Amino acid sequence: MRIDVLMFDGVAEVDALATYAVFANARSRGLEVEPRLVTADGAREVTGCYGTKFADLEPWDPSSARVLAVSGGWILEEIERGVIPRQLAEAKEAGGADLILAGIDSGSLLLGAAGLINGRPATTHRADYHRLAEWAEVIDARIVDDGDLVTCGSGWLAGIDLAYWLLERELDAAATEVVALEQWTGRDRQGTVWRRTLP
């Protein structure tokens, strides 16, 4: 399972790296995951919202990714520029129905601005519920799972909870490995997972 974690100027460092670290540790434990730090425009280097520089990044390839994880950060600036929302819309089209979009914290707003969550259940940072409501049915839960759209809510460590959930959901027999990951990170998955009830 390839996971592309989107990096851009102004990305929230913890959102991106905490999510990446869980998947990278899962890989080291023998689970079939391949996390990558990627950019939409092919940039090899970006600067995070707290000034951290990231280099040797890879261009994304949505057609080969199973999950495209979109971190929070200086999101309103990116929505105003419009470049990343347009690229996200193109990525979903290229990735097709098999591509899972994962919004981490305020990263869900970028998915909304891209027109990818219209009317669907989703969550984000609590301070941004009113913004998310422009596009989505806002659910007050730690993780909102709507199939090929999985979003997580407030906090620096929300991406860890999202990564745990995706590992457990997507990989057979991963639940015991998730417990081992929780012990390694010193953090159990927190909050509720909301899933659409099928008829």
H-run or E-run covering 54: strand 53-54
CB atoms within 10 A of CB 14: 23
Condensed to tens digits (0 to 9), the pLDDT of residues 153-175 reads: 977 788 999 998 999 899 865 67
Rounded CA-CA distance 98/52 in Å is 33
Torsion of CA 39, 41, 46, 49, to 10 degrees: -80
| pLDDT-above-90 percentage for the chain | 73
- Beta strand pairing status for 143-145 and 149-152? antiparallel
Lowest mean pLDDT among 18-22, 46-50, 104-108, 176-180: 176-180
DSSP string, 57-104: -EE--TTT-SEEEE--BSHHHHHHH-HHHHHHHHHHHHHGGGPEEEEE
- pLDDT of 96 reads 82
Average pLDDT, the chain: 91
pLDDT digits (tens, 9 = 90+) for 27-40: 988 889 999 999 99
**Residue bearing the bigger pLDDT, 57 or 158:** 57
| Gap between the Cα atoms of 184 and 149, Å rounded | 27
Q: Residues 77, 111: contact at Cβ < 8 Å?
A: no
